Amino acid sequence: MADLDFDLKQWLELDKSQIFQRFNDFGGTRTIRRGSGDFEFLFIPGTRQDCVILVAHSDTVWDLDPRFPATVAYEDGIFFSQTDGLGIGADDRAGCAILWSLRNLGHSLLITSGEEIGCIGSRWIVGNNPDIFNTINNHQFLVQFDRRGSSDFKCYDIGTDQFRAYVQEVTGFSEPDRRSRTDIVVLSQRVCGVNLSVGYYEHTPSQKLVFQEWSNTLKTAYQWLSGKDLPQFIR
């Protein structure tokens, strides 16, 4: 874990194409990559019997700024931008970095785009890639890493009471409300899903990412998702 802060800084300075390429290279011949721009996604099927699908999105609110990615500084455990008027894109570079850190657990990995403009990439999966949509909904459950703050989970309208109790028990996180949405709300038709905090704050040029909070989510997710016989939760 000693080099995680350095590695996370590198993730914050990647553009969208570099993120897709990293996961593409990791998945090799197993990788399914389709679409382009805000409608691009990459799916790497898992190898476990009790397979969960892990989700993060590659786009940020800063994608149209030609200066993105920003130059990232790290001080006193906090990542922040050194490029005037440009945020670090921790939403959702922080989530992509967690998926990368969990890539060898045998779970399926899904990298989306277009989340920041109404989850249009996920909608494209649902409407134009029924094979992937059906595969997603045959997993045990979905976990997205795309929530602000340090210790929230959100199931929106895709979690049963039983699933919520389960998530709270295995993570120690709490659910502040059921408002808003992210990719899993679009993608989940049959199985439950949850979005976890990854330590970032705000969609502003002063956006920060707290390393200790990010690493706590990573540790929590690793301990949870490396376990055996993960249950399935049907909506």
Element housing 223 (H / E)? helix 211-225
pLDDT in tens, 117-175: 999 999 999 999 999 999 999 999 999 999 999 999 999 999 999 999 999 999 999 99
Report how far residue 33's alpha carbon sits from residue 31's, in angstroms, rounded to the nearest whole number.
Answer: 6
CA angle 71, 120, 168 (to 5 degrees): 75
* Terminal CA-CA length for the chain: 36
Q: Given a cut of 80, is residue 63 above it in pLDDT?
A: yes
Nearby residues of 21 by Cβ (< 8 Å), 6 or more positions away: none
Q: Given a cut of 50, is residue 2 above it in pLDDT?
A: no
Which amino acid, 99? L
Q: Given a cut of 80, is residue 4 above it in pLDDT?
A: no
Question: What does pTM read for this prediction?
Answer: 0.96
Of all residues in the chain, the percent with pLDDT exceeding 70 is: 97
pLDDT category at 203 given cuts 50, 70, 90 is confident
> Would you state the pLDDT for residue 120?
98
pLDDT category at 92 given cuts 50, 70, 90 is very high
Report how far residue 58's alpha carbon sits from residue 55's, in angstroms, rounded to the nearest whole number.
Answer: 10
> Would you state the pLDDT for residue 3?
55
Of all residues in the chain, the percent with pLDDT exceeding 90 is: 95
Rounded to 5 degrees, φ, ψ at 137 are: -85, 10
Report all structural domains of the chain as residue ranges with CATH numbers, in order of start. Answer: 4-225 (3.40.630.10)
